Amino acid sequence: MRYVLKKLATTLITLLCISFLVYLAFDIIPGDAALASLGTDATPERIEAVREELGLNRPFMERYADWLTGFVRGDFGISYKYNVPVSEMILSKLPINVVMAVTAFIIMAGVSVPVGIYSAKHKGKGVDRLIIVVNQVMMSVPHFFMGILITYIFGLIFKIFTPGGFVSYETDLGGFILYMIFPCIAIALPKIAMSVKLLRGSCIEEAGKDYVRTAYSKGNNTSKVLYRHVLRNAMLPVITLWGMTLADMIVGSIVIEQVFNIPGIGRILLTSISYRDYPVVEAIIVLIALVVIVTNFCVDIIYQIVDPRISAQKNSLSK
């Protein structure tokens, strides 16, 4: 429990630092929202008036403190461009990105564990070599390019979905699911490859340890040894990868949105960057950081549950 509280405190401090750095970065970058909305032809008096109106002339720390307290309450400010609350803008698009990232994660975990185990179990055989080659290819292809390939193959050749024809879940849930499967696969495929490679290697490494020989000598067959003894230990590095992957998938979903023409947070982010709509950009970046940090926090906790050596080390260190 003490460890969890300690980790939670570190997480909050990290988040605070990130929010400060993000806010500071947008304050330092030349040009501001007033200039962006009026253009370079505007008179200095007019720019100054808009700055005053937006509160940009106030001291930095005062603005940051206001923004931070608002952020904690769920009030991310008002969009300079659309003049609507940022939280509303983000909340209306967030489900799309959450569905994409979570589905991609489930696909990745669901496929990579059995394939990784199968590959390790058949190490050196033809199927294992084939899996290694396919893995290598998938790992070297970035997900946006994978998205283009999937659009071409399943959208244009097999016509399973209409490229660019996004259907909202509010109008047609079935159509939404069918359309979203493909971007999710595009996000998941490179991660599946990494995960399979790591799990395969980890299983093979664990299988060479003495406790595995002991397990065999106790009368366990290969499947029992693999599932009862090897898998839990082999999963440790994979859990770390998955933690980083989940965060990466959320960021990846922003890119893949563009390929599949999905109106998610990525589109808002890109538009907001081009209009210097800082409240929106700051909120999205800090939210992404929040997801990354919270995911890492969860991974640390899961890691401690799965690997008793970590809690043992902590106990001995704290003594």
How large is the greatest C-alpha to C-alpha distance in the chain, in angstroms? 86
Of the candidate residues 103, 195, 202, 233, the single one contacting another protein (CB under 8 A): 233
Under rule CB under 8 A, which residues in 25-84 are in contact with another protein? none
The nearer residue to another protein, 43 or 217, going by C-beta atoms, is 217
Check residue 211 for interaction with another protein (CB under 8 A): yes
Question: Could you tell me how far CA 241 lies from the centroid of its own chain?
Answer: 12
Of the candidate residues 308, 317, 318, 319, the single one contacting another protein (CB under 8 A): 308
The nearer residue to another protein, 51 or 224, going by C-beta atoms, is 224
- Look up tokens 């193959």; give the residue: 153
CA atoms within 13 Å, Cβ hemisphere of 123:
13
Shortest distance, position 3 Cβ to another protein, whole Å: 16
Piece in contact with another protein (CB under 8 A), picked from 19-27, 90-98, 240-248, 306-314: 306-314
Collapsed DSSP state (helix, strand, coil) of residue 74 = coil
The nearer residue to another protein, 75 or 307, going by C-beta atoms, is 307
CA atoms within 13 Å, Cβ hemisphere of 85:
9
Shortest distance, position 6 Cβ to another protein, whole Å: 20
Enumerate long-range contacts of 299-303, CB under 8 Å, 24 or more apart.
299/239, 299/240, 299/242, 299/243, 300/7, 301/4, 301/7, 302/239, 303/236, 303/239, 303/240
The nearer residue to another protein, 212 or 251, going by C-beta atoms, is 212
Check residue 124 for interaction with another protein (CB under 8 A): no
Of the candidate residues 251, 302, 307, 314, the single one contacting another protein (CB under 8 A): 307
Closest CA to 178 of 103, 245, 252, 109: 103
Q: What is the CA radius of gyration of the chain?
A: 24
The nearer residue to another protein, 31 or 219, going by C-beta atoms, is 219
- Look up tokens 């050196």; give the residue: 124
β-strand partners of 71: none
Check residue 232 for interaction with another protein (CB under 8 A): yes
Of the candidate residues 6, 46, 58, 213, the single one contacting another protein (CB under 8 A): 213
Of the candidate residues 219, 317, 318, 319, the single one contacting another protein (CB under 8 A): 219
Name, in order, each residue with C-beta under 8 angstroms of 15's C-beta and a sequence gap of 6 or more: 286, 289, 290, 293
Piece in contact with another protein (CB under 8 A), picked from 46-54, 265-273, 290-298, 305-313: 305-313
Shortest distance, position 190 Cβ to another protein, whole Å: 29
Classify burial at 226, counting beta carbons within 10 Å of its beta carbon; exposed 0-12, middle 13-18, buried 19 or more: buried
Whether residue 143 contacts residue 255, with contact meaning beta carbons closer than 8 Å, is answered with: yes
Shortest distance, position 235 Cβ to another protein, whole Å: 9
Under rule CB under 8 A, which residues in 150-209 are in contact with another protein? 209
Query: Which residues contribute to the site for another protein (CB under 8 A)?
Result: 209-211, 213-215, 217-220, 229, 232-233, 306-309, 312-313, 315
